[in-house]
């Protein structure tokens, strides 16, 4: 069977590197563009890594004139919500304007389709839960707005130029490669599971638990954790869906199950055999009490079936990576 060639933008980062791994396991050809501002060359387990900014039009013109791609995955982004509030221009430039450059280059060179990394942050404070794709979008910060603007651009480019796309709204990406070759290592790290595990291993100060007075069963926030390898498999199904004539669209990616911060802390203690060092802090502004995905549309339309639905297993993989990486 003829193999495909895919472009993975931001493929040296946490989620992108797991997609690269999955594509290589399927013997696909992969080209990765990453400027290594946040990612690492060692996370790229195969394919051809080009270290470059993706939003350089001349560079994209040269690349798209010299190589054929059967699809593009776009992960590259600024991702720290609190920073986006303090420095919104950085987020609109890096996430929105840069993606416009990419879309125009793809349009002019007839490259496609595109799978875009969107986020549950586009929903804002949930009006109901689990959240399906029909839920109104009302992002609470520039990070979420910078992603929602891209979703609007994608829809407009699809209707004006027939450029096909899928935007995947991830909930909380978690876990690591089951063989612990790659995993999560953001700097700054803002995600609960690595923060808890690194507090246990002594790499970081005690974990700050923000708010114990939410309207949830144990008073702590509830989030939906989805294994990074399951995110990767959804991307591959999404590009095949588009290449097989499927329609453009937007899909939630989550587990349909929420865990409270306390449950994550208890699971981390169980998996590691050590208590998570903790300090208690008040609620942070803009943290909804509960964010849980209804991901049934991705299951029905793309045939997606997450493999790692047990939080124990997700944290076991994250812990194995944490130990291999320290």
Ligand X SMILES: NC(=O)c1ccc[n+]([C@@H]2O[C@H](COP(=O)([O-])OP(=O)(O)OC[C@H]3O[C@@H](n4cnc5c(N)ncnc54)[C@H](O)[C@@H]3O)[C@@H](O)[C@H]2O)c1
Residue 210 in contact with residue 284, Cβ under 8 Å? yes
Taking CB under 6 A as the binding criterion, the range among 5-13, 64-72, 192-200, 282-290 that sits at the site for ligand X is: 5-13
Max CA distance (Å), the chain: 57
Taking CB under 6 A as the binding criterion, the range among 11-19, 102-110, 153-161, 299-307 that sits at the site for ligand X is: 11-19
State the minimum distance, in angstroms, from the CB of residue 191 to ligand X.
6
Closest chain position to ligand X (CB): 13
Cα torsion at 7, 13, 14, 15 (round to 10°)? -20
Taking CB under 6 A as the binding criterion, the range among 148-156, 168-176, 243-251, 289-297 that sits at the site for ligand X is: 168-176
Q: What are residue 71's DSSP bridge partners?
A: 6
Residue 116 in contact with residue 168, Cβ under 8 Å? yes
Q: Which of 4, 6, 7, 14 binds ligand X (CB under 6 A)?
A: 14
Q: Which of 4, 6, 7, 16 binds ligand X (CB under 6 A)?
A: 16
Binding mask 99-128 for ligand X (x = CB under 6 A): ------------------x-x---------
Distance CA 232, CA 230 (A): 5
Give catalytic status of residue 259 as yes or no: no
Token pair of 325 as six digits: 């990486």
Site for ligand X in 36-95 (CB under 6 A): 36-39, 53-55, 75-77, 79
- Quote the distance between the C-alpha of residue 184 and its chain's center: 11
Token pair of 124 as six digits: 């804002």
State the minimum distance, in angstroms, from the CB of residue 61 to ligand X.
16
Nearer to ligand X, 39 or 112 (CB): 39
**CB within 8 A of 284, min separation 6: which ones?**
210, 211
Taking CB under 6 A as the binding criterion, the range among 59-67, 131-139, 170-178, 279-287 that sits at the site for ligand X is: 170-178
Sign of CA dihedral 138, 140, 141, 147: negative
Strands (E), 10-164: 29-34, 48-51, 71-74, 114-119
Select which of 91, 143, 165, 259 is catalytic. Answer: 143
Query: How many residues sit close enough to ligand X to count as binding (CB under 6 A)?
Result: 27
**CB within 8 A of 75, min separation 6: which ones?**
8, 9, 10, 11, 13, 15, 16, 19, 117
Residue 173, interface with ligand X (CB under 6 A)?
yes
* Burial (CB count within 10 angstroms: exposed 0-12, middle 13-18, buried 19+), residue 65: exposed
Taking CB under 6 A as the binding criterion, the range among 6-14, 255-263, 283-291, 309-317 that sits at the site for ligand X is: 6-14
Binding mask 190-209 for ligand X (x = CB under 6 A): --------------------
Among 120, 92, 303, CA closest to 223: 120
Residue 176, interface with ligand X (CB under 6 A)?
no
Binding mask 20-39 for ligand X (x = CB under 6 A): -------------xxxxxxx
Residue 250, interface with ligand X (CB under 6 A)?
no
- Chain positions contacting ligand X, by CB under 6 A: 10, 12-16, 33-39, 53-55, 75-77, 79, 98, 117, 119, 170, 172-173, 186
Active-site residues: which are they? 143
């Amino acid at each position: 069977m003829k193999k495909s060639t895919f472009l993975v933008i931001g493929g040296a980062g946490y989620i992108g590197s797991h997609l690269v791994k999955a594509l290589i396991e399927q013997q696909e050809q992969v080209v990765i563009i990453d400027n290594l501002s946040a990612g690492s060359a060692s996370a790229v387990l195969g394919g051809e890594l080009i270290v470059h900014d993706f939003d350089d039009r001349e560079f994209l013109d040269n690349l798209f004139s010299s190589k054929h791609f059967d699809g593009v995955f776009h992960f590259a982004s600024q991702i720290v919500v609190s920073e986006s509030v303090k420095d919104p221009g950085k987020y609109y430039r890096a996430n929105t304007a840069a993606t416009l450059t990419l879309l125009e280059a793809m349009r002019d060179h007839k490259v496609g389709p595109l799978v875009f990394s969107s986020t549950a942050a586009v929903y804002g404070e949930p009006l109901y839960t689990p959240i399906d794709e029909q839920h109104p979008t009302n992002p609470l910060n520039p990070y979420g707005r910078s992603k929602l603007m891209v979703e609007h651009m994608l829809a407009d480019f699809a209707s004006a130029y027939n450029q096909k796309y899928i935007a995947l709204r991830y909930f909380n990406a978690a876990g690591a490669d089951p063989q612990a070759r790659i995993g999560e290592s953001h700097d700054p790290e803002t995600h609960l599971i690595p923060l808890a595990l690194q507090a246990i291993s002594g790499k970081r100060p005690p974990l700050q638990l923000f708010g114990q007075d939410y309207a949830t069963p144990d008073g702590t926030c509830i989030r939906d954790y989805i294994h990074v390898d399951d995110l990767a498999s959804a991307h591959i199904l999404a590009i095949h869906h588009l290449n097989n004539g499927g329609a453009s669209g937007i899909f939630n990616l989550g587990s349909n199950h929420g865990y409270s911060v306390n449950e994550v802390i208890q699971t981390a203690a169980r998996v590691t055999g050590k208590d998570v060092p903790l300090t208690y802090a008040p609620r942070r502004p803009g943290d909804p009490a509960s964010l849980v995905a209804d991901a049934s549309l991705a299951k029905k339309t793309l045939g997606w079936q997450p493999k790692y639905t047990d939080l124990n297993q997700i944290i076991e993989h994250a812990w194995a990576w944490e130990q291999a990486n320290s």
